[in-house]
Structure 1
Amino acid sequence: MVTAKRWVLVKQFVGKPKESDFCLEEETLPDEVNDGEVLCEAIYLSVDPYVRFLSSVMMKPGDTLVGEQIARVINSKNPKYEVGDVIRLSSGWRTHTLVTDMSQIDVMPVLGDLPVSLPLGAAGVTGLTALFGLNDKLKPVEGETVLVNSAAGAVGSVVGQIAKMKGCTVIGFAGTDDKVQWLTELGFDHAFNYKKVDVDEALSMAAPNGVHCYFDNVGGYLSTQTLPHIHRNGRVLIVGSISTYNDIGKSTGPYPFEDILKKCMTVNGFSIYDMYPKWRDGEAQLVDWIQQGKLQHRETITEGFDLMPNAFMGLFEGTCTGKALVKA
């Protein structure tokens, strides 16, 4: 028998997630599997803010927290998977998984010598969100100005680098001086610590003629400050709203609708899951850029499965640069 651990939701989050919202449970799994089944052990687990957003929609108390992981096959009676194979698995916050439904296993991109953790980050959903959100939705062209917030995060850092490849002027907002320094190293034309600058003044300086494309990971007041600086007929893509995920009650403004009207903006929401048919090609492109050195990435890795909630709560405190992962 295999002793497995899993993190379950104790109660729905109210405000910021806290330790009492999570419970670590043990369960016993058979070490022998039936025909067609696979037994896996987690290597890396993804830590994502969307868990906070989806918790009230997809989860109830007692459920295992949702998420992806990179896992190693430790027993198999499925001809597609051999012991030792490394796979990407949607099984949530758990150390071991008995896979009976093969749709939980997603195809891994061909990584060569690259780290196996990449399909959870820059060569996975976060990288794809940047790639398709920017190229397929915002569609910047050479010479335009692209603005991205949470720019040192797993998505934002990729957005900025791809926009530079396209010949755009890139502006990024991040929450610490160290993150701003990294953005400068990545080639961002302008990078600001939004906690230390006047956003209006910063954008007036960096984009005197306006922002053509705004990739919004944050929402809230920062985005409200940004909209007056959008170019006429500018494009706004709302990909996340991490600044308001923990809000209790309704916001009372300020409201952005007048700016949207005056500038005739195009404002779209975006879910990467609508782009699923293109994922394989997108991942191959991201891997190729990483191998060529055109796309840089960082990972913030927390050691130890027992610290999953700590890593998750850290997302809302700005402690992560690049992709947040837990090494089991």
Structure 2
Amino acid sequence: MAPIKNGRHLFNEVPVGYPVPGKTTVYDESETIDLETVPLNGGILIKALSFSIDPYMRGKMRAPTKKSYSPPYAIGEPLNNHAVGLVLRSENPSFKAGDHVWAFLPFQEYVVQTNVAHVKLLENKENIPWSNYVGAAGMPGQTAYLGWKIFSKAKKGETVFVTTGAGPVGSIVAQLAKLGGLKVIASAGSDEKVEFMKKIGVDVAFNYKTTDTVKVLEEHGPIDIYWDNVGGATLEAALDAANPYARFIECGMISQYNQTSPYGVKNLMNIVGKRLSINGFIVSDHMTPENAKDFYDTIPAMIAKGELVFLEDKKYGLDKVGEAILDVQSGKNHGKSVIVVAEE
């Protein structure tokens, strides 16, 4: 077989402020691959089907000297993130051609993966769409399910405030809270997203761009749990609206990711006076074999039964990665952002 194009999406330069498609990251077609003869060295050859685009990727677009919880992207190298792929060839007994897998992969059409320790074979007994495994049945769903289970300490009748309530994490958190008998207040950045939150059962859904968050929480609070995806002024409002002993789950702070001057929260003394529990949460810290089994035994089945509802914002082709990243950072996406590379 003659070599074929192996398109990639590369990190090109460290951005100041929002990433710029075609400048911060670029699509590249300079590499080729021979699918029949490329050495596997005991590994597997994967055809990428879907890649996840997530808010945390902005934090990896930094100089290598700047430390963080995840390693930075390397200039001139492909971006990487969670993906679903199809095994084309295998020299590893745990995988065979035709298997579908979930793995952390570079953004390219075909990948030889020699280290398969963290490659998960997807059985998909529920027959849900493969793209779901980079969304509600993937890392965002894991974040919502495990963060809620471990840190919320939720009790029926309590009130939770969920930010980015129409997003891939927030929408699952909101639905888990409703299933647990809680009152759910949730915010999002457009009227269309507010309508979606209402459809999934949110009790108080509002557009934070047109409605004052402080006033909403004064009217419908106080709150016992705060799921934070945004930080900044919204975190400040939640601190004022919190009941004593409230639990804050700090999952993300996207309002600050592209700012050169971060917002200074001015009421941190509430943490002391109200005896608040505040937990920073990175899902990879909690993906033990037991928790992984619990998640995959539970969430895909709930999706298949229609017990969890979510949106997917699909873009087709690796050349659309930069646009998808900017949409997520600026809140223009509608649901889980997915790059579809191939259907099969």
Which range, TM-score by smaller chain? over 0.9
1:116–1:250 CA distance, 2 compared to 1 (3 A): closer
Matched, 1:239 2:251: yes
**Alignment length, in residue pairs?**
325
Distance 2:255 2:77 in 1: 25
2:282 and 2:121 mapped to 1: Cα distance? Answer: 20
TM-score (structure 1 length as normaliser): 0.94
Partner SS, residue 7 of structure 2: strand
Alignment of 1:27 onto 2:31: yes
In the TM superposition, residue 76 of structure 1 has moved relative to its aligned partner by 2.5
Cα drift, residue 111 of structure 1 = 4.0
Are 1:190 and 2:204 an aligned pair? yes
1:109/1:119 contact within 8 Å kept: no
Distance in 2 (alpha carbons) for counterparts of 1:120 and 1:295 = 15
1:76-91 counterparts in 2 under 5 A? 76-91=90-105
Which has the larger helix fraction?
1
Q: Deviations over 1:216-261 (max 9, x none)?
A: 011111211221001111110100011101111454x242312222
- Give, in whole Å, the separation in 2 of the partners of 1:280 and 1:4: 34
Q: Distance in 2 between matches of 1:35 and 1:200?
A: 58
CA contact (8 A) 1:91 1:104 kept: no
Report the counterpart of residue 9 of structure 1 in structure 2. 11
Matched, 1:170 2:184: yes
Q: 1:98: Cα distance to partner?
A: 1.2
Compared with structure 1, are the counterparts of its residues 239 and 72 closer, same or farther at alpha carbon in structure 2 (3 Å cutoff)?
A: same
Q: Percent identity?
A: 30
1:318 to 1:250, Cα distance in 2 relative to 1, 3 A:
closer
Name the residue aligned to 2:165: 151
Equivalent residue in structure 2 for 1:310, among 315, 323, 332: 323
Aligned residue for 2:287, secondary structure, equals helix
Q: What are structure 2's unaligned runs of at least 5 residues?
A: 63-70
Code of the aligned partner of 2:26: C
Match of 2:124 in 1: 110
How far is 1:109 from its partner?
Answer: 5.3
| 2:8 partner SS | strand
Tell me whether 1:54 sits opposite 2:57 in the alignment.
Answer: no
Shift of 1:104: 4.8
Unaligned runs of 5+ in 1: none
Classify the secondary structure of the residue corresponding to 1:91: strand
1:38-80 superposed Cα distances (whole Å, 9 cap, x missing partner): 2121111111111111333422312221211111122233333
CA-atom RMSD in angstroms: 1.6
Distance 1:290 1:250, change over 3 A: closer
Matches for 1:56-71 after TM superposition, within 5 Å: 56=62, 57-71=71-85
- Counterparts of 2:111 and 2:129 in 1: how far apart (Å)? 22
1:283 aligns with 296
Task: Report the secondary structure of 1:117's partner residue.
Answer: helix
TM-score, normalised by the number of residues in structure 2 = 0.90
C-alpha contact 1:40 1:99 (8 A) present in aligned 2: yes
Tell me which of 178, 186, 195 is aligned to 1:181.
195
> Residue 285 of structure 2: SS of its match in structure 1?
helix
Q: Secondary structure at the match of 1:131?
A: helix
Could you tell which deviates more after superposition, 276-285 or 263-272?
Answer: 276-285
Q: Which runs of 4+ in 1 moved over 3 A?
A: none
CA distance in 2 between counterparts of 1:126 and 1:174 reads 17
Deviation of 1:151 (Å): 0.6
1:140-183 CA distances to partner (integer Å, 9 max, x unpaired)? 11010011001100000000000011100011000011110111
